[in-house]
């Protein structure tokens, strides 16, 4: 998934290697910097997974779901998700809840569909209806780690998705948040996150997938992180799958290209990536210890997708107050060890939020970071009948075809998995 | 009945000096118009998506290099087998039971549903602006490349539809309703006027599972059969989550007057039409000798009152530019003592009407109209009802004779409205 171009497209078509960042080929012919060099700049980032659990001492809001503007307190835990290389038995991941690492204060409001949310606007809270999908504003989310010396504040918006997990109705939620202020080791860093979990009477319970651009290595340490201290599984009926999508030396014919409508006008972009196993982590030991993420060399699948701006007349810029809205459809195919398709999922990103960021070393200093989410529409193969939400956080430098594209996606799927079909046992071991 | 037997117009439908026309005036005698309306082939079908279609489905199979065409993104490439379908309601004491039978496959239903902005107008010549599919939102779509094949005969349609996400027992279900106009046909369908409505469920494999009703004018008397057709041979129930109550509605007799009700907030007039609803067996066959239909009326189930809102000043609807309408309807089910045992409230939110003429009755105005909308609620035995209403109607204007084919599609995971399948 990637937000479409802000540039005026040329319908001239794209050469076969337009999307390939690997090697020394220039990403943008006018600038001369290699795609590989830009990829390194984009990947100067820390990615980490948190798991939030409502604090037992916290009280829900009037509705009993903590979304009426009540200030709720949550506990934050380390959370590791490691995809096992897909095999003939399908796609699985190990999910490990680790030790408690901090706290989260949140204040959410259910809002009307047409409410224009901004950090400086007080939302008109409306009732939560558990049976329908509603928008909500994360008016405040304050993350504190360790004794509070490191942390950040944020603002964002999302949606509820009523779903069944097994025989249990749940209010699944997903949202994109943007960091508005950091302190301690997070000071002056651009970051965003995407959440996905359940809205419970006590608050939010689920994953927070975080990405911070970290050009000066202030958040990341080079040392090994303390080993995660596994805790009891917070939700055995749910499995999270994590992987990365990056541009690569695609086969000819699947490079980025424009999609033209019946009127001959560009309606969006067709984008492909290669899927790889993604490992990320962090720890808290006196202070927040981030870590550079790693991406496997082995390609475990492919993505083909279409993306476009959600509002055709919107300005092309994305700011913290007014992010650029995008949407799209993508199909993710996972290969087993023999190269056969083990399963596919089709996902519709219904809400994407893109923020422009300055990235020193990139021509024009211009880069993007973005978050997104949307429903898994269907699955095939090992994913047949799957239900869940697809979401992610990404960093990118993008030029319109036939110029190049660098992107590293952190992709996550939260899957209803009451039978544990997608959950790999801990003993499955590592993956490189 | 041929044209020579048709009594000539008595007087104008529009009464001079009145703000609203007298819709009850008799251009031709009421019973004559009623008979003309019955010259309609009624096809009640059940659509069952075949396994394996998902792997081939595409919004544009000729351009799979453009991933905009991924099925499920900005549209749905539907393919279903069409089966004979009969659903007969019967009231006994304080209970209703629906005998619902799906027969063998008789053809295919194909439709390209392109999601579109909510304000998209009916326009068979235009591809709508793209709109991403979101199963948790009620969304509008255009029915393009819509085709029904029955035996060697084909019908082609253009229409509009809407998705309705509902929560059934905590489970998220996406219901789908649609209305489409017959634009072209082959075989017995050639040159016909007709309207299609559908209501059902979008399956996890993005297939359409549900009821499709097609009504085709048959002034040539080649489709409607006076005699009963080969009985339906039931197959294993393809949908145990939903119950469909098929209804035939008409005025009790020619003395029943249609009146004007209060206008809608946007100024459209309303017609209040009392009708009697009966269970009905809508049968069809599709074989070497072409399609045939037959209707058998069953038990009287109770009254139905509909307020129909439309723009009286609009010219008669055409295939290119139909006249939209909405309704608010109350279905009352009474036992044999006349005591109400349950009601269903619903309304058409997406209705399209087309001018209707009768070759055998020149000058007699009529309307062919169809639509769908959500079931808003119920009382008594229908307390908590969720689902979709479809209406597929032929009416005369002055006199206001009516011939209605309605379906109450009820989400029914526990099967509380069902009886065992008929042998």
Mean pLDDT of the region B58-77: 95
A7, pLDDT greater than 50: no
**pLDDT of B2 over the 70 cut:** no
Does the structure's ipTM exceed the value 0.90? yes
Query: Which of B51, B55, B67 should one mutate to test binding to chain A, selecting the residue with the greatest count of A CBs within 10 A?
Result: B67
pLDDT given for residue A399 in this prediction: 86
Q: Is the CB of A13 inside 8 Å of chain B's CB atoms?
A: no
Distance from CA of B159 to the nearest CA of A (A): 19
Residue of A nearest to B71 (CA): A346
DSSP string, B61-114: TT-TTSGGGBTTTSEEEEEEEEEEEEEEEEEETTEEEEEEEEEEEEEEEEEEEE
Q: What is the pLDDT of residue A253?
A: 65
3-state secondary structure of B23: coil
Mean of pLDDT values over B170-195: 96
Question: Is the Cβ–Cβ distance between A3 and A371 less than 8 Å?
Answer: no
Question: A residues 341-360 near B, CB within 8 Å?
Answer: 346, 348, 350
* Contact predicate B387/B411, CB 8 Å: yes
Q: Locate B283 and state its tokens.
A: 């049968």
Do the Cβ atoms of B135 and A375 come within 8 Å?
yes
- In the DSSP assignment, the letter for residue B58 is B
CB contact under 8 Å between B68 and A270, yes or no, is yes
A55 has pLDDT over 60: yes
What confidence tens digit (pLDDT) does each residue in B327-380 have?
999 999 999 899 999 999 999 999 999 999 999 999 999 999 999 999 999 999
Is the pLDDT assigned to residue A408 strictly greater than 50?
A: yes
Q: Could you state, in order of their start, the residue ranges of all structural domains in chain B?
A: 21-411
Q: Least CA distance to A272: which residue of chain B?
A: B67
Q: What angle do CA B11, B15, B17 make, to 5 degrees?
A: 145
Q: Phi/psi of residue A363, each to 5°?
A: -50, 125
Does B399 sit behind a cis peptide bond, omega within 30 degrees of 0 on the bond before it?
yes
User: Is the model's pLDDT at A21 over the cut of 50?
Assistant: no
Residues in chain B within 8 Å Cβ distance of A350: 132, 134
Between chains, do A377 and B206 touch, taking CB under 8 Å as contact? yes
3-state SS, residue B126? coil
Q: Which residues of A touch B65 (CB under 8 A)?
A: 253, 257, 270
CB contact under 8 A, B130 and A267: yes
Mean pLDDT of B138-154: 97
SS3 sequence of chain A: CCCCCCCCCCCCCCCCCCCCCCCCCECCCCCCCEHHHHHHHHCCEEEEEEEEEECCCCCCCCCCCCCEEEEEEEEEEEEEEEEEEEECCEEEEEEEEEEEEEEEEEEEEEECCCCCCCCCCCCCCCCCCCCCCCEEEEEEEEEEECCCCEEEEEEEEEEEEEEEECCEEEEEEEEEEEEEEEEHHHCCCCEEEEEEEEEECCEEEEEEEEEEECCCCCCECCCCCCCCCCCCCCCCCEEEEEEEEECCCCCCCCCCEEEECCCCCEEEEEEEEEEEEEECCEEEECEEEECECEEEEEEEEEEEEEEEECCCCCCCCCCCCCCEEEEEEEEEEEECCCCCEEEEEEEEEEEEEEEEEECCCCHHHEEEEEEEEEEEEEEEECCCCCCEEEEEEEEEEECCCCCCEEEEEEEEEEEECCCCCCECCHHHCCCC
Chain B touched by A270 (CB under 8 Å) = yes
**Is pLDDT above 80 for B11?**
no
SS3 (DSSP) at B4:
helix
The CA distance from B268 to B259, in Å, is: 14
**pLDDT on residue A64:** 61
> Please, what are the domains in chain A?
35-45+239-422 (2.40.480), 46-214+221-228 (2.40.480)
- Partners of residue A332 in chain B, C-beta under 8 Å: none
| CA of A243 vs chain B CAs: smallest distance (Å) | 21
pLDDT at B402: 96
Using the Cβ of A261 and the Cβ atoms of chain B, whether some distance falls under 8 Å is answered with yes
For chain A, the average pLDDT equals 88
What pLDDT, on the 0 to 100 scale, is given for residue A65? Answer: 64
Q: Residue A255: closest CA among chain B residues belongs to which residue? A: B65
Question: Which pLDDT belongs to residue B407?
Answer: 98
Contact between B172 and A378 using a beta-carbon 8 Å cutoff? no
| pLDDT over threshold 90, residue A88 | no
A225 to chain B, any CB pair closer than 8 A? The answer is no
Q: Which two tokens stand for residue A365?
A: 């200093």
Cis peptide before A402 (omega within 30 of 0): yes
**Best CA proximity match to A381, nearest among A425, A417, A335:** A335
Phi-psi region of B257 (alpha: psi -120 to 50; beta: other; left: phi over 0): beta
Residue B135: its chain A contacts at CB < 8 A? 375, 377
Q: What angle is formed at CA A259 by the lines to CA A257 and CA A265, rounded to 5 degrees? A: 125
Which residues in B288-401 belong to E strands, given as ranges?
Answer: 290-310, 323-334, 340-346, 350-356, 366-380, 387-396
Predicted confidence band of residue A6 (pLDDT cuts 50, 70, 90): very low
> Judging by DSSP bridges, how do beta strands B40-48 and B153-168 pair with one another?
unpaired
d(CA A375, nearest CA chain B) in Å: 8
A-chain residues near B72 (CB < 8 A): 329, 346, 348, 377-378
For the record, the structure tokens of A134 come out as 């509603």
Question: Cα–Cα distance between B394 and B34 in angstroms, integer?
Answer: 10
Phi-psi region for residue B152, left (φ > 0), alpha (ψ -120 to 50) or beta?
alpha
Pick the closest to residue B102 from B230, B20, B211, B215 (CA basis).
Answer: B211
Measured from the Cβ of residue B195, the count of other Cβ atoms closer than 10 Å reads: 30
Q: Which residues of B133-169 are buried (b: 16+ CB within 10 A; e: fewer)?
A: bbbbbbbbbbbbebbbbbbebbbbbbbbbbbbbbbbe
Per-chain mean pLDDT for chain B: 93
CB contact under 8 A, A169 and B171: yes
Q: What is the mean pLDDT of residues B17-34?
A: 85
Beta strands in B151-289 (DSSP E): 153-168, 171-185, 194-202, 208-217, 242-250, 259-261, 269-287
Least confident of B19-23, B115-119, B213-217, B276-280: B19-23
B70 → closest Cβ in A169, A306, A327? A306
pLDDT tens figures, B226-283: 999 999 999 999 999 999 999 999 999 999 999 999 988 888 899 999 999 999 999 9
pLDDT for res B291: 97
Confidence of residue A430 (pLDDT cuts 50, 70, 90): very low
Distances (CA, A) of B92 to A232, B96, B285, B300: 56, 6, 30, 12
Nearest chain A CA: its distance from B199 CA (Å): 20
Looking at the partner chain, which of B70, B132, B136 has a beta carbon nearest the beta carbon of A133? B136
> Residue B352: phi, psi to the nearest 5?
-135, 135
Q: What is the mean pLDDT of residues B28-38?
A: 97
A325 touches chain B (CB under 8 A): no
Q: Are strands A388-398 and B269-287 parallel, antiparallel or unpaired?
A: unpaired
Is the minimum CB–CB distance between A306 and chain B shorter than 8 Å? yes
pLDDT at B393: 97
Residues of B with Cβ-Cβ distance to A268 under 8 angstroms: 68
The partner residues of B202 in beta bridges, in order of sequence, read B208
Percent of all residues in chain A with a pLDDT value above 90, rounded to a whole number:
75
Q: Please tell me the least confidently modeled range out of A151-160, A245-254, A304-313, A326-335.
A: A245-254
| Closest residue to B68, CB basis, from A162, A268, A377 | A268
**Distance between CA atoms of A7 and A53, rounded to whole angstroms?**
42
Is the CB of A385 less than 8 angstroms away from the CB of B204? yes
> What pLDDT, on the 0 to 100 scale, is given for residue B18?
45
Cβ–Cβ below 8 Å for A377 and B72: yes
Give the range among A127-131, A318-322, B77-81, B247-251 with minimum mean pLDDT. Answer: A127-131
Contact yes or no for B127 and A270 at CB 8 A: no
Please tell me which of the candidates B127, B133, B172 has its beta carbon nearest to residue A377. Answer: B133
Note the pLDDT of residue A32: 74
Q: How far off is chain B from A159, nearest CA to CA, in Å?
A: 10
């Amino acid at each position: 998934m990637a937000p479409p171009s802000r540039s005026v497209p040329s319908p001239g078509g794209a050469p076969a290697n337009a999307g390939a960042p690997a090697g020394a080929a220039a990403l943008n012919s006018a600038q001369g910097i290699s795609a590989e060099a830009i990829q390194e700049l984009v990947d100067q980032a820390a990615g980490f997974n948190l798991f939030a659990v409502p604090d037992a001492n916290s009280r829900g809001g009037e509705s009993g779901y903590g979304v009426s503007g009540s200030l709720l307190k949550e506990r934050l835990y380390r959370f590791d998700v490691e995809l096992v290389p897909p095999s003939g038995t399908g796609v699985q991941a190990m999910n490990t809840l680790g030790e408690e690492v901090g706290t989260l204060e949140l204040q959410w409001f259910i809002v009307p569909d047409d409410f224009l949310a901004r950090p400086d606007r007080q939302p008109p809270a409306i009732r939560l209806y558990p049976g329908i999908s509603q928008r909500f504003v994360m008016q405040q989310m304050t993350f504190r780690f360790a004794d509070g010396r490191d942390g950040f504040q944020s603002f964002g918006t999302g949606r509820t998705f009523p779903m069944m997990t097994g025989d249990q109705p749940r209010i699944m939620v997903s949202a994109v948040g943007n960091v508005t202020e950091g302190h301690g080791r997070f000071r002056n860093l651009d970051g965003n996150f995407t959440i996905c979990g359940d809205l419970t009477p006590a608050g939010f319970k689920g994953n927070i997938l975080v990405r911070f651009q970290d050009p000066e290595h202030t958040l990341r340490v080079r040392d090994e992180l303390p080993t995660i201290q596994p805790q009891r599984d917070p939700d055995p009926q749910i499995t999270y799958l994590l992987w990365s999508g990056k541009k690569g030396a695609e086969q000819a014919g699947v490079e980025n290209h424009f999609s033209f409508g019946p009127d001959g006008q560009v309606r969006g972009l067709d984008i492909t990536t290669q899927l790889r196993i993604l490992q990320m982590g962090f720890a808290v030991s006196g202070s927040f210890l981030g870590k550079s993420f790693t991406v496997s060399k082995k390609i475990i699948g492919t993505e083909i997708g279409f993306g476009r701006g959600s509002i055709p007349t919107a300005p092309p810029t994305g700011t913290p107050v007014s992010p650029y809205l995008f949407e799209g459809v993508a199909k993710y195919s996972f290969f087993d060890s023999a190269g056969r398709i083990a399963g596919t999922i089709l996902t519709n990103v219904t809400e994407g939020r893109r923020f422009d960021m300055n990235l020193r070393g990139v021509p024009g200093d211009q880069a993007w970071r973005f978050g997104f989410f949307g429903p898994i529409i269907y699955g095939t193969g090992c994913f047949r009948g799957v239900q869940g939400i697809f979401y992610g956080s990404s960093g990118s430098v993008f030029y319109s075809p036939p110029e190049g594209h660098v992107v590293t996606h952190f992709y996550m799927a939260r899957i209803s998995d009451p039978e544990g079909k997608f959950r790999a046992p801990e003993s499955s071991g590592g993956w490189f | 009945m041929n044209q020579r037997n048709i009594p000539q117009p008595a007087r104008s439908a529009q009464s001079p000096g009145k703000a609203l026309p007298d819709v009850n005036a008799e251009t031709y005698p009421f019973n004559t118009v009623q008979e003309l309306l019955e010259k309609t082939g009624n096809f009640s079908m059940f659509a069952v998506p075949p396994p394996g279609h998902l792997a081939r489905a595409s919004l544009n199979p000729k351009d799979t290099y453009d991933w905009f065409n991924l099925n499920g993104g900005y549209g749905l490439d539907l393919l279903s087998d069409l089966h004979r379908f009969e659903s007969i309601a019967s009231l006994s004491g304080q209970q209703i039971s629906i005998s619902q039978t799906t027969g063998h496959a008789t053809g295919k239903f194909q439709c390209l549903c392109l999601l579109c902005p909510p304000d998209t107008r009916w326009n068979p010549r235009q591809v709508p602006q793209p709109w991403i599919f979101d199963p948790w939102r009620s969304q509008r779509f255009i029915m393009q490349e819509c085709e029904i094949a029955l035996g060697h005969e084909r019908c082609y349609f253009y229409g509009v539809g809407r998705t309705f996400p509902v929560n059934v027992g905590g489970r998220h279900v996406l219901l789908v309703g649609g209305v489409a106009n017959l634009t072209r046909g082959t075989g017995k369908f050639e040159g016909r006027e007709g309207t299609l409505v559908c209501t059902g469920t979008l399956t996890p494999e993005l297939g359409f599972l549900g009821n499709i009703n097609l009504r085709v004018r048959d002034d040539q008397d080649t489709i409607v059969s006076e005699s009963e057709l080969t009985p339906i041979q039931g197959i294993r129930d393809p949908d145990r989550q939903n119950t469909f109550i098929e209804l035939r509605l008409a005025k009790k007799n020619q003395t029943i007057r249609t009146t004007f009700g209060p206008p809608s907030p946007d100024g459209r007039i309303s017609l209040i039409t009392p009708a009697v609803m009966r269970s009905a067996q809508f049968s069809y066959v599709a074989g070497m000798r072409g399609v045939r239909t037959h209707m058998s009326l069953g038990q009287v189930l109770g009254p139905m009152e509909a307020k129909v809102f439309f723009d009286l000043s609009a010219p008669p609807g055409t295939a290119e530019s139909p006249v939209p309408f909405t309704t608010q309807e109350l279905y009352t089910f009474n036992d044999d003592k006349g005591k109400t045992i349950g009601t269903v409230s619903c309304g058409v939110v997406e209705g399209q009407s087309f001018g209707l003429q009768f070759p055998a009755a020149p000058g007699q105005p009529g309307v062919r109209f169809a639509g769908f909308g959500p079931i808003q609620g119920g009382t008594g035995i229908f307390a908590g009802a969720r689902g979709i209403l479809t209406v597929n109607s032929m009416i005369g204007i002055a006199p206001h004779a009516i011939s209605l084919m309605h379906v109450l599609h009820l989400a029914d995971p526990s099967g509380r409205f069902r009886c065992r399948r008929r042998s």
